[in-house]
Amino acid sequence: MASKAFSKSLLSFYRSLRCTLANPLSLHRSELHLKPQKNHLSLCHLHDQTLVLDVEGGLLRSSSTFPYFMLVALEAGCILRGLILLLLYPLLCCLSQEVGLQIMVLVCFLGIRKQGFMAGIAVLPKHLLEDVGLEGFEVLRMAGKKVCVSGMPSVMVEGFLKEYLEVDLVAARELKVFHGYYTGLMEEDSYFSLENAFGEEAIGFGSCIKSPQHQLFSHCKELQLVTDAEKKKWQRLPREEYPKALVFHDGRMAFRPTPMATLAMFVWFPFGVSLSILRTIVFVFLPYTISIPIGSATGVTNRVLNPHASAGDRQYKLYVCNHRTLLDPVYISAMLNKLVVAVTYSVSPITEALSPIRTVRLTRNKEEDRRRMQRLLSQGDLVVCPEGTTCREPYLLRFSPLFAELAEEVVPVALAARVCMFYGTTASGFKFLDSFFFLMNPRPEYHLEFLQKIPTGCLRRRSGSSYEVANLVQREIGSALGFQCTALTRKDKYVILAGNEGIVKTKT
């Protein structure tokens, strides 16, 4: 009887809570003395004005925050968190927006270490930028001072908004922390006055349904709202319009994890694991003449241009390529149908053991590395990736000039890798799984183009600088791929994505 009474009281409490939260706008209507206008916001009078913009309602094309919480669950947590969140999705659809948000925060953040949480900087910006609407961004860009409000926790959106969209202030709730770990609970909204911060009233912009919930909109002298029908017509913000180029990002998920897409991923996962193991066994133990056709039959797509561009020369060749995944040298070896040696700064013992070609580690000591590479080049063909680390986006990192001092000529190789489900690279995860995740994709693609040989020795003696020769090779590869050349380095990548310099100390 006591248990029945407790169940009835619990059910009664839940019903009252749901009735209270089912219409969250009623909690704030007494504070908003505005007449929201649904006509399009005129951009001409936004200059030197403070804009309060709702992220989910007035900036992103989709108002659903589920994909971003799924990314946190999978990337910062584990696959079990993601599965639990997916199973809870039908329940989330039945609950109010606020209760559903609290459940997602609890599932995704409970027990996550605060100091080690990098998803808000390393993972989410890529997916958020791809969901930014061009029309909403135009409103944001025209404003003098930019204030963004969001229902998501600040650790998920603040880094993205300030770093990539140049927002002045982000109003979002903080997460509660206990002994350095997130509890999965959010702090209450803290009162914030625009007059104290900017000394003026503001213009509000957001969705007809969501935006007026936040108390900041009570400071707006004018409130412009966009309907869901209008948002469906919004266009994606083009890459060239990004205020700051997105060069680096981390995480394994290569797709936007909507509920249906995430369900498809979980259904595919066991098949992908089996397929990746099969592909690995085929490439490791069978000759290229057999493994390539079998790989193509399982969905691996290869495209190669000018594989015999350097044929007819009996000397051993130095192949210089951009770096997309750990499989770059393997694909070069397979397309040439001959064994090559690859040099790398860091590779896991598991990857080294499973590699069908020989890999040699460098020491980061220039003179020692030069001697090692010269010795290897005197024994056979050598592949070097002078970027020093992988880059997923259409950019080339700075080329280390050491390769330009080794041979009289080099063969540039332009590489492009494409995936649809899992990225085959990581900055903060387990690197020995990189190739495994790449081969888990239903149809992984690799495009290779062997460019004409470049007389690096002659050019180096003429210019007197190996750096200029390295930049020339970088430009040739970038031109072939349509990629933009940068001066960014491995250190820049790891400082942004992992909070370190990307140097792993090995036991000697």
Strand partners, 305: 449
Token pair, residue 222, equals 């004018």
| Cβ 185 vs Cβ 106: under 8 Å | yes
For residue 484, the cross-strand partners are 395
Helix (H) or strand (E) holding 374: helix 366-377
Evaluate whether 351 touches 435 at the Cβ level (below 8 Å).
yes
Q: What is the pLDDT of residues 347-358, one digit of tens each?
A: 888 888 889 999
Exposed/middle/buried for 34, CB within 10 Å: 0-12, 13-18, 19+? middle
What CATH number has the domain spanning 259-497? 3.40.1130
Prediction pTM value = 0.87
- Spell out the SS3 assignment of 5-35: HHHHHHHHHHHHHHHHHCCHHHHCHHHCCCC
- Asked whether 359 and 340 are in contact (CB, 8 A), the reply is no
| Helical axes 97-109 vs 79-87, angle rounded to 10° | 160
Give bridge partners of residue 303 from the DSSP assignment.
447
Residue 319 CB: number of other CB atoms within 10 A? Answer: 23
Helices 154-164 & 124-131 angle (0-180, nearest 10): 70
The SS3 call for residue 399 is coil
- Pair 330, 258: CB distance under 8 Å: no
Which parts of the chain register pLDDT below 50? Answer: 1-17, 19-35, 38-39, 506-508
| Cα angle value 117/119/120 (rounded, 5°) | 100
- In this structure, which topology does domain 25-241 adopt according to CATH? Rossmann fold (3.40.50)
How many alpha carbons fall within 13 Å on the CB side of residue 418? 10
Q: What is the pLDDT of residues 135-188, one digit of tens each?
A: 999 999 988 889 999 999 999 999 999 999 999 999 999 999 999 999 999 988
Q: Are 206 and 58 in contact (CB under 8 A)?
A: yes
For position 2, what pLDDT does the model report?
45
Tokens of 443: 């149809």
The residue with tokens 């209507």 is 29
Q: What pLDDT shows up at residue 228?
A: 84
Q: Is 320 helix (H, G, I), strand (E, B) or coil?
A: strand
Q: Domain spans of the chain?
A: 25-241, 259-497
Quick one: DSSP state of residue 410?
B
Residues 6+ apart with CB under 8 A from 395: 245, 247, 483, 484, 485, 486, 488
Closest CA to 454 of 264, 251, 280, 310: 310
Q: What is the DSSP string of 79-101?
A: HHHHHHHHHTHHHHHHS-HHHHH
